[in-house]
Amino acid sequence: MTEKNDRKELEATIEFLENSGLRGSDLPYRFLVDMMPDTVWVLDLDMTPRFVSPSSLKTLGYSPEERLRQHLSDMVTPETYARVIYVLQEELKKEQNREVDPDRIITIDMEYYHKDGHTVWLENRIRSIHDRDGRIIGLFGVSRDITDRRRLEGMLRERIKELSLFRSVANFIESTDSLEEVFQKTVDEIPRAWRYPDCACARITLNGYVFQTANFRETDWSIHADITVHGDRLGTLEVCYLSEMPDEEGNPFLDEERDLLKAIAKFLGRVVQRKQDEDRLKESERKYRELSILDDLSGLYNSRYFYKQLEEEIDRVNRYGGPLSLILLDIDNFKSFNDTFGHVEGDEVLSRLGEVIRRCMRKTDSAYRYGGEEFTVLLPVTRCGEGRVIAERIRTTFKNETFLPVPGESVHLTVSLGIAEYRPSENMKKFVHRADQLMYQAKEGGKDRICGEFPPAGRSC
C-alpha cells in the first residue's frame, strides 16, 4: 500500500511539471521548464527517469521520450554511475537519520554519453522529493552543461602543474652550479606533472650521461623530445608509463603532455647553452686575468703580480711561521748583447731564460720578470740554503743554452743570482732590497755566480 502511495505522490509531482501549462496561473512555470537551456528531470529511487524536459535533446541528443526509456546507468559512464550511487546513498542515509536539512540541494558533476558517442559533463543540482509524511520518494534535479568549464579547468590544472615544474627546475638552477644535480632533480620532478604520476617515470640522456627516476623502465608507452643547443642534438628527454593508461582515443599521453615534454627539453637545452656560455666566459676571464698578470715575452708573471704574491707569502709567514726565500737574478752583459745583435735577439734571450726558470723551479715555486733583464723566483717554505739548489740549477742550465744571433756564430750567456731569506716582521721592500744587493754582489764578484746568506758564514758567493 505504501509503495502505491509513493508512486502516486511522485506522479503528482510529475503531473505538475507536465501539465502546469494547462492552468493559466501555472503557465509561467511550464514556459520556464520548456524554454530554459538547463535540463529538468525527476528520478524515482530506482534511478529510472520519470520526467525529462525538452532541453535534453539539445544537450545530449536524446528526446525526452527516449530518455524515459533509459536507466541512469545507461546515461552516464560507469565511473560516474558508481560515484553517484555512493554519494546519493550516503546523502539519503543522512537525511533519513535527520542529520541534514531535507530541503538542501547537493551538487554532483556527472559525465553523460551524448547520442553521437562523445561524452558531456553536466553539473546536477539535486534535491529529494518527499511525500506528505516526509519520506523520500524520488529525486528532482536540474542539469547544466559544464563541458567547456571542465575542459578549461583541466587545462588550468595542467598549466599549474607545468608552471610548478618549471618553477622547481628554475629553483634547482638557482640553488646549484652542478648541471648533473639539475638534471637529476628535474627527472625526479617530471612525473608529478603527468596525468598518471604514480606510474610515470622519466630519463634524460645527455652527452653520454644518464639521469633517470628510480623506477625507470623502458616500455611501449613512451614519448621523447630532443635536447638541442644551437640546432645540435645533445641528448633526449623521455617519459614512460609503466603500464598502459589510454585516454578516450587509446593514446596514453595527452597532447598537452607532449607539448610540455618539448617545452621542458627546450628549456633544458637553454640551461645547457647558458652553462656553456658561462664556462666560456669564465675561461675568457681566466685568460684575461692571466694576460693581465703575465709578461708576454718571458711567459712568466709580471712585476705587479710579484708584489701581490710576495705580500701574501710574507703575511702567511708572519701569521703561521716557516721560511720564505727569494731569488733575484740578472743576465750578465745583456746590454752589450742587445747593442751588438739587436732587440729581436735580445728578446729571444729573455724568452729562453723564462723557459729555463720554469723548467728548473718546483711546482710550489713561482717566477716573475721583475723588469728589463731582471727576474725573481719566490720559494715558499724554503731556507736560503735549500733555495741555493734551485738557483744553481737555473745558473748552470742557462749557461748551457746556445744562442745563434748570426749564422755560424754561437753565443753563451750567464746570469748572476742573489738569494735572501725573509726575516720575521721584515719590511717587504727591505727583503727585496737585500736580495737585489746580493745579486749585485754576485756581479761584482765576477758574475756567473750565486750570492746568498748561507750558513754557517751567513753570507757567501
In the numeric block, which cell numbers belong to residue 274? 647558458
For residues 6 and 131, the answer to whether their CB atoms sit within 8 Å is yes
C-alpha angle with apex 24: 19 to 29, nearest 5 degrees? 55
Q: Cell for 62? A: 536524446
Task: Name the H helices within 294-381.
Answer: 303-320, 334-341, 343-360
Whether 181 sits among the annotated catalytic residues: the reply is no
Backbone angles phi, psi at 228, to 5 degrees: -125, 155
Kindly state the cell numbers that stand for 393: 740549477
**CB 45 within 8 Å of CB 138:** yes
Burial (CB count within 10 angstroms: exposed 0-12, middle 13-18, buried 19+), residue 125: middle
Buried b (16+ CB within 10 A) or exposed e, 451-460: bbbbeeeeee
Q: Which residues make Cβ contacts (< 8 Å) with residue 198, sequence separation at least 6? A: none
Task: Walk across the sheet containing 39-44 and list its strands.
Answer: 49-52, 39-44, 136-145, 119-130, 106-113
**Which helix (H) or strand (E) covers residue 66, if one does?**
helix 64-68
Active-site residue among 373, 374, 401, 409?
A: 373
Catalytically annotated residues: 373
